[in-house]
Structure 1
């Protein structure tokens, strides 16, 4: 290696000594080129042009090292070069080696190659200090015109392909001086790893190569571009070319042919294939679509005649006694009486129906057949007929370009190709792998015992390793290996006797139906059937647990940070507040959201309600519901739904999966558990202020089974929302707030509910009637003093009614050891009524004494009579005074009581505590 490098440096030194001379020579060469170019007056290429020689490498498609052409002469030293060529890759290799020039100590003195998978052009030179991977668009089975130039003096490269040009600096030192050395070996179609050897079939060429031009100087950019877009002929004779191929080159296992020069840059890359099996119109359209094409539609007479030439060889195969043996992509519209394109529904401006046919469209299932038989008169060639779509004809499929079909489901170690394209040669349809594989159809085999002939089979095999193969038995005469199929495999590295593959033409963001049809990937598992066979709604499991997943273990922590479970409680209604039994019943919706990084989800829709997981159960947070003083609540689960919230983009598609699927990481897409519950919660009501009370009840949610070091409940937003009607029969929900309420090592949240008593009912049903009774009884103080019976009857009746009301109200509310406000009211009312009755009795006693005195006054002497009379008058005056005082004192005492009652009741109602709980979010814990 040191000797080689020393020789290389010496050569470079010798060239540096005459650098100015070389630059002058280079400039002179460019000048002479332009002179010759102008003298030869380049001419434009017409649509046909002259015939060009084409060299086909690896004619049987098998990757091999003995298919090449070798240049017989030697190259001179070069400080730059230009290589132009036309190439049509028939099957790609790991690298498609176009030109390889090696010298004794360097295999890559010049290397020009293509990489179909990476879509790059590879340029290497000069013991590989120059190595460039240049972007280029490469299509299979289509001509590609390329010009590449390397200028070692200016240290620049330039690449032109199909009229587009790019350039750049080569990545070598500015002071370095490199040359292309003389006397090497030039091969085409193979890559030399050593001088004139070290060939590798994986770096070879299966392609057509034509119009090769190699110059030992750099062509102008305009000339390179013109060559690749076929706008001029370069009349300057190249240093190496195909002018005298057999004289200048040694040909090994190649095939020579000729082609019109105009085909090289033709943009018309479409072609037509006849599927030589009879089908209904719908089945014919399906086989076209699944192959990457559409049913053919001629838009003018020239199209129709060209189509006739294509289908005529299949007349006997498809005809079965009919001349119109082929389907066109045309359907009839009975409403508008127009013939329309079967996909775009656009009306056709050109039709070619026979006389009387196609005039009236009588049914929706009206399709068009095409005459492709030469056994009829010329005037009927390419004529259209109106036919029922359920009849059977052969499908004519039109392709805009070579469509690549992907084979999904291959293991990474498989030796079969993952991409294929349709071949149509010798009236037979096959599928060629992009690299090394082939799928061919085998005829049916007759069973000697039963005499039954099978439909045949399809065989997938490696061209270079025919013992590696897979077989698919046909289940009908029209079956193709497109779509979902199970193959019997031999000798593949995957090691499986059966292999399920989907051969599909569907592109990115599409789903391959089992029959090969394509629908949008977002339509997969969206609860609407989009595939013709309905397969887009099969196997729609949003989650499949791997064998190592343990649903009893909580998700893993990150950096000792506990897994956060977001918690939201929507209170739908307060069904009942049972004061007598110290509890309340609520209808709630509990929503918990968390991340489980161990999971992967599939087919997720943007609508979260569609992403319901029902078949499997991952880890779920277990919670308990408690009331005041940690009393257990009774919980009835009405409904429980586990869903996935799609929040990220899917992972890149993995072709090893048989079918396309949107796969999402668990780390970016949270699980959501929604439960509708009926919760019967204990609450320690404080009834001292009843019925003007304010009650605060607590509903605690406690995480169980895992400590807060690993899983922590966190409120989602405010954590609680009330969605129902706040006003109930006896209480109104004033506010709800969520607070932290841990219990020892377990995480918990508590919802504090503030209820305000609706006292209006008691005001009108209890307080007002009792107050009216008190007023009525008070009014007897205004009765005549002598009407004792009426007065005492009213007073006792009021007292009796008051006692009855007291008993009824007391029976409807809990009994407590302490007096409630309503009890105080009734006690006051009873006492006040009793006091009135006592006053009436006292007044009556005084009046009775007055009556006795009058009865006895006639029997006594005068002095005694005067004393008794004065006593009676005094008693009467006392009775009147007592009655009067009671009239005044009673309202005053009642007013004082009412004021004191209201003040005391307000304080006891805890009404002022509402503001504390309204918007606060406090931290509270027990047992920490």
Structure 2
């Protein structure tokens, strides 16, 4: 045997895996996390893969490389020809089926010290490649495989023997089947329900190992989703509150023994340490004497419930903390120094925030409990050196990056100041604030390392004891090239759309001046894709920007056009500017030690709200007054830029009215919003429909005028002989109506056209005038006694021809039924005899006889004129009102509320 073969035989072990029923053999690659090029295993024989196959493996990563080499099935003749492989990254995997392969993002980032089950299926019959992770199908690709069916070598743990890609972690159950396994069987393998080996490659087969460690673990441990159980961090001599702070920082708690067995178990952690003869128990009664509570959980107990040794507690209010003794618990001063055992869950991921790495894996670390240290997912390592200094170093380059500034509590947990010794994040030597925390993405790290829910970050109240949760709460991140004078430009290169929200509180309308005053909240919303935002809350008021940040923002300027003076929007101390969280997707900014969630500016808009009181001019058409429906328009125009750059968003803009619907003079009808983006500057119009409430006009104009009209009409029923009463009553009504007309006209704007109320009043005036004319004509047809005057005490008594048989005046009667005055001359007129309503004319004379019908002839007397006046006035009134009110019933405010 040659010398090199002997050396290789010594260095390389060849074994056949034999596992018991309860345990499974596991191979450990580079357990210290170092990068090596000579750590690998190889299947002892080449294999022939059929067209369809399934490759499965359980893997557990200790340190993530840029690329972690796991499994390669090389072409035995040419390793570069269509390899079949599986490579692990932190946030993705890379799978090659032979002739086809690609990167696949994972549902969530992988974690260290956690077992995963991976299966790769090539189904050439269906032209599909599938990947299963922990039994779940995460990838199903259609592919046209062109694999050459050549013998293959199976190589695990190395990629071309490059140390930087070497596997650091554990592997078990590498098996290959010559068929595409069913999803059900893959799920059973992932959940450890069955332990079936492959028919092409068997985990129990012969493997060649090089610098790989072996161990046996329970078979069920392969299927635990996370590292199970707890680990104990041993804390040296510390004051009680210091121990609590450190233990809380590692997300742990200090135990409270309840019996002798618990005490002995806790003391056993320090049995070989003479300085830690006594240990802290995690309980105190500082807040209320005799009431003991756990600072980690807040649970409280009475003294009788605590496992105190005999004659304890005996320190009263001067000794409020407890430490353990073999005989039980005893109270002591909280300022003395004792050791403590801090119990925390295994598998917790730690994050180092404040560094600026391109790869996310570099931010995460694992806790090593004894001695306390932190191993990175990547190349970083944080540990305490022999001189008690905490150092942050790179295990690949063996360079110390920073050392922790020494303080009273010398632990790197929480937000601490580090002295940078080599360049990091583009910064040279100096100091840098870093946060080492076990808090999850949904939690915020206080300075001492304790965690609070992230929703309490910047919520305007203190939740951390050090009050750092309300520090660095600026919301907007401005890029270096940000220009507040230039409007944002969307990625689509279209005009930026501004959304407008009108919320009207009150409206007041003055018809005389044709103006409407409005009190409203105007909210303008827009997107600025140049910005990013920090820690947006669901509750919008918590996303309010400071005035300093508002001053640096680009803000749209909108003018109120139809006002008497020049007015426009303002963003000042009376305005509230917020960022609206429309999308919950964010990117954690791990380079910020204060834990920031970054939200995009193109999906979360800015909104500014301010209250305005503006007087707008309106153009009222008063033709239908007081049954008119007016429309007053509030016109807004963008002043910041033309429509090429800024427009109003017609789909997302709206108006709402929250005030009373009935004003003194008007009722508020519909309120509409419209947008005009075709002009040079985009215009927005809010049209307010004003329906006049005509109750006032009815009470003060129509009913009084109608009453006067009725009074004037009633005068037609007065005795014809009392001319003065008839005329004076009608004339008085006319004068009152004219005065009412003048008052109504004075209360309205002067117009060049008639209003319907003018038509009504003019009609009433003209109708009364017609009544007065009728009174005059009737009076002319009345025949008074010769020498009679209206001032005399005697009033003639008129009768029709049917009453007396002749026209004329009977004996004069005194007013009030006095005896007749004698010697009154009576004039008798002779009329033709009326027969059945026709006048008898001599044959051959008089009217025209047509078919021997005789035409009627009206009498020319006072009775006829009185009857005619009544009917004519009634007909005029009815016809006018039918036309007048019928016209108003079509499209006026008369029937709006019906």
Aligned to 1:705: 640
Q: CA deviation at 1:359?
A: 13
- Given the alignment, which residue of 470, 480, 484 partners 1:551? 484
- Given the alignment, which residue of 307, 328, 333 partners 2:282? 328
- Given the alignment, which residue of 390, 393, 411 partners 1:461? 393
Aligned to 1:860: none
Aligned to 2:467: 534
Q: CA deviation at 1:746?
A: 2.4
SS of 2:869 mapped into structure 1? helix
Aligned to 2:813: none
Q: CA deviation at 1:883?
A: 9.5
SS of 2:752 mapped into structure 1? coil
Q: Does 1:669 align with 2:604?
A: yes
Q: Does 1:889 align with 2:869?
A: yes
**Distance across 2 between alignment mates of 1:415 and 1:852:** 122
Q: CA deviation at 1:389?
A: 7.9
Q: CA deviation at 1:398?
A: 0.6
Residues 67 and 165, structure 2, Cα contact 8 Å, conserved in 1: yes
**Distance across 2 between alignment mates of 1:623 and 1:656:** 39
Aligned to 2:308: 353
Equivalent pairs counted in the alignment come to 772
- CA separation of 1:866/1:743 partners in 2, compared to 1, >3 Å: closer, same or farther? farther
- Given the alignment, which residue of 398, 403, 411 partners 2:356? 411
Q: Does 1:599 align with 2:559?
A: no
- Given the alignment, which residue of 234, 246, 249 partners 1:290? 249
Moved more, 728-737 or 653-662: 653-662
Aligned to 1:748: 683
- Given the alignment, which residue of 419, 422, 439 partners 1:488? 419
- CA separation of 1:758/1:130 partners in 2, compared to 1, >3 Å: closer, same or farther? closer
Residues 95 and 203, structure 1, Cα contact 8 Å, conserved in 2: yes
Q: Does 1:588 align with 2:523?
A: no
**Distance across 1 between alignment mates of 2:585 and 2:567:** 42
Residues 324 and 369, structure 1, Cα contact 8 Å, conserved in 2: no
Moved more, 398-407 or 564-573: 564-573
Q: CA deviation at 1:264?
A: 12
Residues 471 and 487, structure 1, Cα contact 8 Å, conserved in 2: yes
Aligned to 1:196: none
Aligned to 1:278: 238
Residues 118 and 134, structure 2, Cα contact 8 Å, conserved in 1: no
Q: Does 1:726 align with 2:706?
A: no
Q: CA deviation at 1:421?
A: 3.6
Task: Give the 5 Å matches for 1:141-540.
Answer: 173=147, 175-178=149-152, 202=164, 270-281=230-241, 284-298=243-257, 301-312=260-271, 316=275, 325-328=279-282, 342-343=296-297, 345=299, 352-355=307-310, 357=312, 369-372=322-325, 378=326, 380=327, 383-385=328-330, 394-412=339-357, 418-425=363-370, 429-441=372-384, 458-463=390-395, 465=397, 468-474=400-406, 476-497=407-428, 498-540=431-473
**Distance across 2 between alignment mates of 1:592 and 1:693:** 34
Task: Give the 5 Å matches for 1:790-801.
Answer: 798-801=733-736
Q: CA deviation at 1:326?
A: 0.5
Q: CA deviation at 1:550?
A: 2.3
**Distance across 2 between alignment mates of 1:204 and 1:415:** 19
Q: CA deviation at 1:760?
A: 1.3
* Deviations, residues 653-696 of structure 1 (Å, cap 9, x unaligned): 34233333332222322333444332311112122322222223
SS of 2:263 mapped into structure 1? helix
**Distance across 1 between alignment mates of 2:639 and 2:238:** 67
Q: CA deviation at 1:823?
A: 3.2
**Distance across 1 between alignment mates of 2:292 and 2:456:** 32
Q: Does 1:691 align with 2:671?
A: no
**Distance across 1 between alignment mates of 2:590 and 2:650:** 41
**Distance across 2 between alignment mates of 1:717 and 1:743:** 18
**Distance across 2 between alignment mates of 1:367 and 1:853:** 122
- CA separation of 1:892/1:716 partners in 2, compared to 1, >3 Å: closer, same or farther? farther
- Given the alignment, which residue of 548, 559, 567 partners 1:624? 559
- CA separation of 1:889/1:260 partners in 2, compared to 1, >3 Å: closer, same or farther? closer
Residues 392 and 403, structure 2, Cα contact 8 Å, conserved in 1: yes
SS of 2:247 mapped into structure 1? helix
- CA separation of 1:910/1:203 partners in 2, compared to 1, >3 Å: closer, same or farther? same
**Distance across 2 between alignment mates of 1:551 and 1:536:** 30
Residues 589 and 597, structure 2, Cα contact 8 Å, conserved in 1: no
**Distance across 2 between alignment mates of 1:356 and 1:276:** 28
**Distance across 2 between alignment mates of 1:263 and 1:368:** 44
Residues 543 and 600, structure 1, Cα contact 8 Å, conserved in 2: yes
Structure 1 gap ranges (5+): 1-29, 47-51, 150-158, 165-170, 181-185, 194-198, 230-235, 243-248, 318-322, 373-377, 445-455, 858-864, 875-879, 919-928
**Distance across 1 between alignment mates of 2:448 and 2:717:** 102
- Greater helix proportion: 1
Q: CA RMSD in A?
A: 6.5
SS of 1:643 mapped into structure 2? strand
Aligned to 1:448: none
* Deviations, residues 431-475 of structure 1 (Å, cap 9, x unaligned): 44445444345799xxxxxxxxxxx8633233565554313323x
- CA separation of 1:563/1:819 partners in 2, compared to 1, >3 Å: closer, same or farther? same
Moved more, 433-442 or 666-675: 433-442
* Deviations, residues 750-779 of structure 1 (Å, cap 9, x unaligned): 233332221111111222233334444555
- CA separation of 1:780/1:94 partners in 2, compared to 1, >3 Å: closer, same or farther? closer
**Distance across 2 between alignment mates of 1:836 and 1:286:** 105
**Distance across 1 between alignment mates of 2:715 and 2:745:** 28
* Deviations, residues 113-158 of structure 1 (Å, cap 9, x unaligned): 996847989999xx9999999999998689x899999xxxxxxxxx
Residues 528 and 537, structure 1, Cα contact 8 Å, conserved in 2: yes
SS of 2:650 mapped into structure 1? strand
Residues 279 and 338, structure 2, Cα contact 8 Å, conserved in 1: yes
Question: Normalising by the residue count of structure 2, what TM-score does the alignment of the two structures yield?
Answer: 0.66
**Distance across 2 between alignment mates of 1:571 and 1:546:** 37
- CA separation of 1:340/1:596 partners in 2, compared to 1, >3 Å: closer, same or farther? closer
Question: Normalising by the residue count of structure 1, what TM-score does the alignment of the two structures yield?
Answer: 0.64
- CA separation of 1:775/1:412 partners in 2, compared to 1, >3 Å: closer, same or farther? same
* Deviations, residues 371-411 of structure 1 (Å, cap 9, x unaligned): 15xxxxx5x1xx23467989876542112325332111212
- Given the alignment, which residue of 686, 693, 696 partners 1:758? 693
Residues 326 and 369, structure 1, Cα contact 8 Å, conserved in 2: yes
- CA separation of 1:799/1:659 partners in 2, compared to 1, >3 Å: closer, same or farther? same
**Distance across 1 between alignment mates of 2:751 and 2:100:** 99
Task: Give the 5 Å matches for 1:47-66.
Answer: none
Q: CA deviation at 1:239?
A: 7.1
- Given the alignment, which residue of 788, 791, 794 partners 1:851? 788
SS of 1:328 mapped into structure 2? strand
SS of 1:668 mapped into structure 2? coil
Task: Give the 5 Å matches for 1:23-62.
Answer: none
**Distance across 2 between alignment mates of 1:94 and 1:582:** 75
Residues 561 and 635, structure 2, Cα contact 8 Å, conserved in 1: yes
Residues 691 and 821, structure 1, Cα contact 8 Å, conserved in 2: yes
- Given the alignment, which residue of 715, 720, 723 partners 2:650? 715
SS of 2:151 mapped into structure 1? coil
- CA separation of 1:579/1:603 partners in 2, compared to 1, >3 Å: closer, same or farther? same
- Given the alignment, which residue of 779, 804, 819 partners 2:754? 819
